[in-house]
Amino acid sequence: MINELISEMVDAGVHYGHQTKKWNPRMKPFLMKDKGGIYIINLEKTVQQLDKATEFLSDLVSKNKQILFVGCKRQAQDAIREAAEATGQHYVNHRWLGGMLTNATTVRKSVERLRYLENIEKQPEFKSMSKKELAALGREREKLLRNLRGVRNLEKKPDAIVIVDSARETIAVAEAQRLNIPIVAIVDTNADPAKVDFPIPGNDDAIRSIRIILQNLVDGMLAAKKN
């Protein structure tokens, strides 16, 4: 099974890191030698770390805990949404709003505003609004929906956060750390694995690489749900 998974990871390019000049020295335990100026990730280490992360998330799911998936880069957006929806969890895949975890009151107000805008036609003031006003409210609704669609039902802080590209999602990492929320993250060769609780070394720029790692996490979570 391990050899089969590693073979799939090779096909997906999970082992390709960044250029050697962009590396983070703390990633050294997860790396093999560089190849043509590119660091190669040790996929045996990736599988080991993936198993630890999957076990952790599966345990949370079995206890009906809440998990937040985060990945706002273009390559991760669809995979993050699909992983969250498949497991009945929450997600942020467009833009991380500062304070999304640490200033929950403001976020809830924005969610309430979204609900108001979604039901604007039922409001008493609707008939007196001009086309220009309604168009502006429509644009506001779409913007809020993009940012809040995946967290509108997240009533309290999540029990864990899963991040694609911890080096990019620095604000999400910092907020989770501040609230002592465990972090599972795909860490590329330019990331600091010490900033997350369950680092999964892997290519976080390739869509196939992101998908294969997330799918393994999802499969473990779904199995835990059935048991």
Structure confidence by residue, pLDDT tens digits, 161-211: 999 999 999 999 999 999 999 999 999 999 999 999 999 999 999 999 999
Spatial separation of the C-alpha atoms in residues 155 and 152, rounded to whole Å: 8
> H-type helices in 119-169, by residue range?
131-148
Mean pLDDT (the chain) is: 93
Domain boundaries defined on the chain: 2-101+157-226, 104-148
| Alpha-carbon dihedral sign for residues 159, 70, 101, 168 | positive
Of 140, 175, 145, 16, the closest CA to residue 81 belongs to 145
Structure confidence by residue, pLDDT tens digits, 114-171: 999 999 898 888 888 899 999 999 999 999 999 999 999 998 899 999 999 999 999 9
Reported pTM: 0.92
Q: What's the mean pLDDT in 26-41? A: 89
Q: What's the mean pLDDT in 92-97? A: 93
What CATH number has the domain spanning 2-101+157-226? Answer: 3.40.50.10490
Q: Around 179, how many Cα atoms within 13 Å sit in the side-chain half-sphere?
A: 20
Residues whose CB falls within 8 Å of the CB of residue 217, separated by 6 or more in sequence, listed in order: 50, 53, 54, 57, 83, 162, 184
What does the DSSP 8-state code read for residue 4? H
The helix (H) or strand (E) run that includes residue 184 is strand 183-187
pLDDT at 63 over 90: yes
- Dmax (CA) for the chain in angstroms is 68
As a whole-number percent, the residues of the chain with pLDDT over 70 amount to 99
Residue 38, strand partner residues: 19, 35
pLDDT, residue 176, reads 97
Higher pLDDT, residue 22 or 57: 57
The answer to whether 197 and 184 have CB atoms below 8 angstroms apart is: yes
pLDDT, residue 115, reads 92
pLDDT at 1 over 70: no
